[in-house]
Amino acid sequence: MQLAAYLQTMHDVPWREDDAKADEIFYLFGEHGAELEPLLQQYQLPRYASTLFSVEPDGSMGPAQPALSFGVAADGSGVPFHFHNDGFSEVMHGAKRWLLYPSAPPQFDPDQTSVRWLRDVYPRLSEREAPMECVIEPGDLLYFPKDWYHAIVNLGTTVFMSTFL
């Protein structure tokens, strides 16, 4: 499939409809096969990542090899609240709105899309319950700590790379 057709397919998915489920989110992200290996090999790791794992004298990674995930996402898509190990998010095109909590977010439903959570839950939160949040754009790099809950909403068609440590 050509990229233009793929992007149109992503825009045809009803992200904001009330019956949309988080596991129906459709965008290119996650584990990839050999087809993206040449792209991933050209990616320069965030310079701060090297402080979190070992880099061998020949430039190869030591035992804690980071996992790279390239993504292309439609406006309004994103992943609901979840957590994992440390990582970085870098945007090449578009923007990503990040919502972060050091522990479980209030009124958390793993089947609820991020857009729906923003629409239905976020406006009712007290200042104390509100997430830390930011928008990252091309040239920005976000570090997210291990075990912090985070949700993402893509703003416009977004191209990005995630580095998982």
Please report, for the chain, the start and end positions of each structural domain, with discontinuous segments joined by +.
3-164
CA 121 – CA 106 distance, rounded (Å): 9
Per-residue pLDDT tens over the stretch 63-112? 566 778 888 888 888 888 999 888 999 999 999 999 999 998 888 888 88
φ and ψ at residue 69, rounded to 5 degrees? -140, 115
In CATH, the number for domain 3-164 is 2.60.120.650
Return all residues near 11 (Cβ < 8 A) that are at least 6 apart: 74, 75
User: Is 60 exceeded by the pLDDT of residue 5?
Assistant: yes
> How does the average pLDDT of the chain come out, rounded?
80
- CA distances to 28, 125, 131, 155 from 36, rounded to whole Å, are 11, 41, 34, 24
Tens of pLDDT, residue by residue over 45-68, are 777 665 555 555 666 555 566 778
φ and ψ of 142, to 5 deg: -115, 130
pLDDT score, position 101: 96
Q: Any idea which residue has 């997210």 for tokens?
A: 144
Query: What's the pLDDT tens digit per position in 114-153?
Result: 888 999 999 999 999 999 999 999 989 999 999 999 999 9
pLDDT for position 136: 98
Q: What is the pLDDT of residues 6-46, one digit of tens each?
A: 666 666 655 555 555 555 555 555 556 677 777 778 878 77
pLDDT for the residue 126 = 94
Q: What does the DSSP 8-state code read for residue 21?
A: -
